[in-house]
Amino acid sequence: MNSEKTLRLGLIGRDISYSLSPRIHQWGLVTLGLYGEYRLYDIKADEIPSLLRSSEWDGLNVTVPHKTLVAGLCNILTEEARLSQSVNVLFRREGKIWGNTTDGKGFLCALNRLVEHPISVRRVLIIGSGGAARAVLLSLGRHSAIEHVVVASRNPEQTERNLALMKANCTVVSLEQAASELIEYDLVVQATPVGSAQVQGLPLPQPFRFAPIAHVMDLIYSPRKTEFLRLAESNGCRVQNGLLMLIGQAAASFKLWTNIPFPLERAMKELLPELEVA
């Protein structure tokens, strides 16, 4: 790729002023000597089609609440995006808009740093059934050590129908059942907006209790430590927020747009500490 080309990148979402994606991608551009900008498109659903048709972007990320909507607006979906019916990255090839999801890659990047011995993880609970949760579910399906994955949802019947289209090997339960059985899981992945600055509270009804040996990941990174993570940590669990996943999925997006590997390990050493206190 011509390093002098000015890349026009950005993020589509709602109420996204808190996003750290601009800092991550600007860091990547500067570190690799590329020219470009990464801007926020805080837009409503009905504004998205005109943006996608425009020529003002080279690559876009997509976040809540638009991931599923955007999947239906793409010319071509990758297999992971098609199965999860969720898109978090857009790029152009030969005049066509491609939709992909790098959430799964970002999740595995984070998981490999959270769990010292991945083979020890046998039973997994995913709280939530949105785009990020479905991408996590797909990525876990390739993890041979895992014996059982459970998805907790506010609407189990609807979630079962949706996941049947993915042919996902999992069990769907209510939030109440997940709360009562929480102590049974080695890995808990919180993939709802509950606990964020915008949606305060806990994703499961109390009371619930973690297994002290559990690993708990909350995909939220603002705040850096949600109430759910604080409870898990106070119970002796190893915890992680969504920053590592954010950097991991950003790295995969960056590679799609530039065809240049993102300096991920360097980012973990130099950029991550800055973001933790940002």
**Of residues 214, 273, 215, 203, the one with CA closest to residue 243:** 273
Q: Look at residue 112 and tell me if it is in a domain.
A: yes
> How much is the mean pLDDT over the chain?
94
Q: What is the pLDDT of residue 116?
A: 77
Residues in the chain: 278
**Statement to judge: residues 191 and 249 lie in one domain:** no
What separation, in Å, do the N-terminal and C-terminal C-alpha atoms of the chain show? 32
Dmax of the chain from CA atoms? 56
The domain spanning residue 109 has which CATH number? Answer: 3.40.50.720
Yes or no: say if 203 and 194 are a contact pair by the CB < 8 Å rule. Answer: yes
> Does residue 269 have an active-site annotation?
no
**Of residues 149, 161, 226, the one with CA closest to residue 193:** 226
Number of domains the chain is built from: 2
Q: Phi and psi at residue 171, in whole multiples of 5°?
A: -115, 140
**Residue 142 structure tokens:** 């390739």
- Domain residues for the domain of 185 are 104-241
Indicate the SS3 state at residue 99. strand
Tokens 């559990």 sit on residue: 214
Give me the catalytic one of 5, 67, 105, 255: 67
**Statement to judge: residues 223 and 262 lie in one domain:** no
Residue 219 and residue 110: Cα distance in Å, rounded? 10
pLDDT in tens, the chain (278 residues): 545 689 999 999 999 999 999 999 999 999 999 999 999 999 999 999 999 999 999 999 999 999 999 999 999 999 999 999 999 999 999 999 999 999 999 999 999 999 877 667 889 999 999 999 999 999 998 766 788 999 999 999 999 998 988 888 899 999 999 999 999 999 999 999 999 988 999 999 999 999 999 999 999 999 999 999 999 999 999 999 999 999 999 999 999 999 999 999 999 999 999 999 98
**Statement to judge: residues 135 and 13 lie in one domain:** no
Indicate the SS3 state at residue 80. helix
